[in-house]
Every structure is written in C-alpha cells, then in structure tokens.
C-alpha cells in the first residue's frame, strides 16, 4: 500500500476519485446531492473542485437519462 504525503497530487487525485465514486452511488439512489453535503463529507477537497466534479456527474446523468 502506498503512503501518500500530505498535499500531494496523488493524494488529491485519490480523494477526488473517492468523492466521485460516492457521488455516482448517491445519484443512483437519489435525484439530487447538495454541494454543501459533499463539502462537509470531503473537507480536504476545495468547494470549487467539488462543484466542478458535481457538474461532470450531472452532465453524465443527463446523457444517460436521455439515451434510456
């Protein structure tokens, strides 16, 4: 197992990937997720990054729903 140093690029990528997995799972069960909830749950990630990746998830959900 790799031990990542604080504030490294690899740690940030790991945290963002973890948040994205959480967001995708939550989108399966709910229609909406509050950015404040994610900011609280993933406090190591900035609010701007949380909103950026939530936009990516919501765009993907819209594409999936229109194809179905």
Q: How far apart are CA 36 and CA 12, in angstroms?
A: 19
| pLDDT recorded at residue 62 | 65
Contact present, 45 and 15 (Cβ < 8 Å): yes
Question: pLDDT at residue 68 above 60?
Answer: no
In percent, how much of the chain has pLDDT > 70?
85
Interval 36-56: pLDDT, tens: 888 888 888 888 888 888 887
Could you tell me which of 39, 65, 64, 63 has the C-alpha nearest to residue 53? 39
Q: Phi/psi of residue 44, each to 5°? A: -80, -10
| pLDDT recorded at residue 18 | 92
| pLDDT recorded at residue 65 | 62
Question: pLDDT at residue 20 above 80?
Answer: yes
């Amino acid at each position: 197992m790799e031990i990542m140093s604080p504030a490294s690029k690899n740690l940030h990528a790991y945290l963002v990937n973890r948040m994205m997995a959480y967001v995708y799972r939550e989108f399966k069960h709910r229609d909406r997720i509050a950015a404040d909830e994610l900011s609280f749950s993933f406090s190591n990630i900035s609010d701007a990054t949380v909103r950026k990746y939530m936009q990516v998830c919501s765009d993907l959900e819209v594409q999936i729903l229109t194809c179905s």
